[in-house]
Chains A and B, each alone.
Chain A
Amino acid sequence: MSVLRRLTPMFSYDLLLNAVMAGLLLGGFYAAVTAGVAISFGILDIVNIAHPAFIILGSYIAYATNAWLGLDPIATGIVALPAFYGLGAVLYQAYHLAFERRGQDALRGLAFFFGILFITEVALILAFGVDYRYVEAGYVASSWHVGVIGLPLRMLVPCAMSLAMLAALWLFLSRTFIGRAIMAVGQDQLALALVAADPIRIRRIAFAISIATASLAGAFLIIIQPVEPSIGRDYIGRVFAICVLGGLGSLPGTVIAAMLLGIAESLTATFYGPSWAPAVSFGLLLLTLALRPAGLLGR
């Protein structure tokens, strides 16, 4: 009897609604985290497993300016965009010269980014230590109430900004020449070269943009939760799960998948306990890979 009671959770519509809402807000944030990988893995086919480390780097930069200058983390995220863009360009150039030009198999590239992940993480540990860091901003502690639903601003603001960032990214990719060239380089590199666009330059721009999104995503992360260098590892799997679930190369798919994952995690955490939440997201990933590897909106 008690087994049955453990399987059917305590049910309350308020709780359900709040859990779903929290899941949607979390999903919005996850979309920002995944946007970079959606470009580098979805479009360019570069398995950038170090992306979460760059997000944590962005978080720490936001923390540093917040602690020493009192700046708002999102403002820091925006100001740091060019720096991250440059970092992405340099990283891509190194990756291209070392791997793509030599035609090396994917294993080397994967190992390269795996190494970069650890180098970045340890650099942060050596610079900042392993204490949890958080930011002080006006809206971090307050929340709005719409009827029975509570919307904590520390989740609402990052979610809204993240959706704005994704909308801007999607407009860029679909309306501008460089954006469409980026989509094209993922489909047929030779054809792009024949249309007189340098595919390597386009790939470099795309990869640099993907790292630049990490700057903003890091700012969002540190608003939502306290940060320490190794939490990036939790996000590696989540990011690729959302990417695969949404379908490679599709930004709208990424947003939808991120929302689904956020809701799944939130519902599990609310009704079955937070310790079960990771299993749900990764179980979802395994199911997707087994049943529909192309994802929801994949090509």
Chain B
Amino acid sequence: MPGWAFVAVSCAVAAMVFAAVHLAGNDYVFVAGYTVLQFVVLATAWNILGGYTGYVNFGTAAFFALGAYASVFFHKFYPLPVPVLCAIGAAVSGVVGLGMGYLTLRLRGAFFSIATLALAVVLQTLVVNWNYVGGARGAYVIRPADTALFHVPYIQYLFLIMLALAVGAVATARMIERSKLGYGFAAIRDDELAAEASGVPTLQLKLVATTLSGAMMGMAGAPFPYYNGYLQPSSAFALEYAVNAIAMPMIGGTTSWVGPLAGAVLLGTLQQVVTVTFSAALNLLIVGALLVGFVIVAPNGLIGLWQRLGPVLVGFTQTKPSSPGLTGRSSNHEPGDTVLPGQAGQ
């Protein structure tokens, strides 16, 4: 379906989600839902660089935290409405992503990942030593009880913002996937040397990927101080964000926009439930165990499982066998169906 139709449908879905959460009657569902939506954005953002382009970024937390600290800075300097802060967070993290791209994109594979980790630590150290935003002792951001418009409770307002950001992120990812940009990314992921030799402008595309990915992560981080009320470097730059941003697309499937969305919703919800019922430590164990399990058993994530098992399940309902198409599969159309070159003959 064309881009605008997709955005319309996702807005409708988002409205339904908001209504459903409203019906639950309990503000905690908004709190938990905000975190799940935040991970949808983070996972989708990571997937643009990691899944589409093949460069594993361990520094997710750095971009997220920069967006958050940009909000804290403006909160102390000159308070701005949260949507403006999202734009500022996106700009700041986008610029840092561009810088990171220039510094590290000559590196391949593991070296790139290590460099992103190093950059995250350097940025964390800079923030720890920056007294204006509180440094190591952290910063308090007291949020208003409700918004000026319609007197919506503030957490519902933040939930709405994050819902909008999630719709935007997923729509952007889908748009990239089906565009020339997406083909370029896939070419880089599959064989960068061949892509460069075929005339794909790999450096430019990689810079676009890091900037976009960083900007979306910063955008997700901007409302965080208002959500949490308190921000300190060690929790803002925590490795949990990196592991979740990697685990969710890997569990959902890295080749399509559906993967990070499915992974984030499933894993995020599971984490929220476990945090409340068992313990916060156990939820990290689950992330680790699921990541290891999926990486071994289902390397292409849930999308991959669906693509392998889907034809088997769908085949039972078909009376006539259809000939295998371009991708070697018998059925014609499944959710998450993409036409990226790397998937031919899967």
Residues of A within 8 A of B (CB): 41, 47, 94, 98, 102, 104-108, 110-112, 114-119, 121-123, 125-126, 233, 236-237, 240-241, 244, 273, 275-276, 278-279, 282-283, 285-286, 289-290, 293
Contact = CB atoms under 8 A, between A and B. Distances in A.
Interface string B162-187: 00000000000000000000000000
Chain A interface mostly: helix
Interface string B280-298: 0110110111111001100
B122 A283 contact: yes
Interface stretch (B79-87, B123-131, B205-213): B123-131
A273 B128 CA distance: 12
Nearest to A97: B296
B285 A119 contact: yes
B243 A114 contact: yes
Chain B interface mostly: helix
A279 B119 CA distance: 9
A118 B288 contact: yes
A111 B111 contact: no
Interface residues of B, number: 42
A118 B285 contact: yes
B118 A293 contact: no
B56 A110 contact: yes
Nearest to A243: B114
B121 A126 contact: no
Nearest to B285: A122
A237 B121 contact: yes
B24 to A, nearest CB: 30
Contact of B114 (A106, A125, A244): A244
Interface in B81-125: 103-104, 106-107, 109-111, 113-115, 117-119, 121-122, 124-125
B124 A240 contact: no
Nearest to A122: B285
Contacts of B290: 115
A238 to B, nearest CB: 9
Contact of A125 (B118, B125, B281): B281
B250 to A, nearest CB: 5
A111 B295 contact: yes
A240 B120 CA distance: 14
Contacts of B124: 278
Given A111-B246, A122-B284, A123-B285, A286 B296 contact: no
A13 to B, nearest CB: 27
Given A107-B56, A118-B288, A289-B107, A278 B119 contact: no
A274 to B, nearest CB: 10
A116 B292 contact: yes
Nearest to A238: B121
B287 to A, nearest CB: 6
A240 B56 contact: no
Nearest to B238: A233
Residue among B124, B243, B282, B299 facing the most chain A CB atoms (10 A cut-off): B299
Contact of A275 (B54, B103, B117, B125): B125
Contact of B288 (A119, A233, A278): A119
Interface in B263-315: 281-282, 284-285, 287-292, 295-296, 299
5 residue pairs, one from A and one from B, having the closest CB atoms: A118-B288, A115-B292, A279-B125, A115-B291, A122-B285
Contacts of B253: none
B115 A126 contact: no
A104 B110 CA distance: 14
25 contacts: A41-B110, A106-B109, A110-B113, A112-B292, A114-B291, A115-B247, A118-B287, A118-B288, A122-B281, A122-B284, A126-B285, A275-B125, A275-B128, A275-B136, A276-B129, A278-B124, A279-B122, A279-B125, A282-B122, A282-B125, A285-B118, A286-B104, A286-B119, A293-B107, A293-B111
Contacts of B225: none
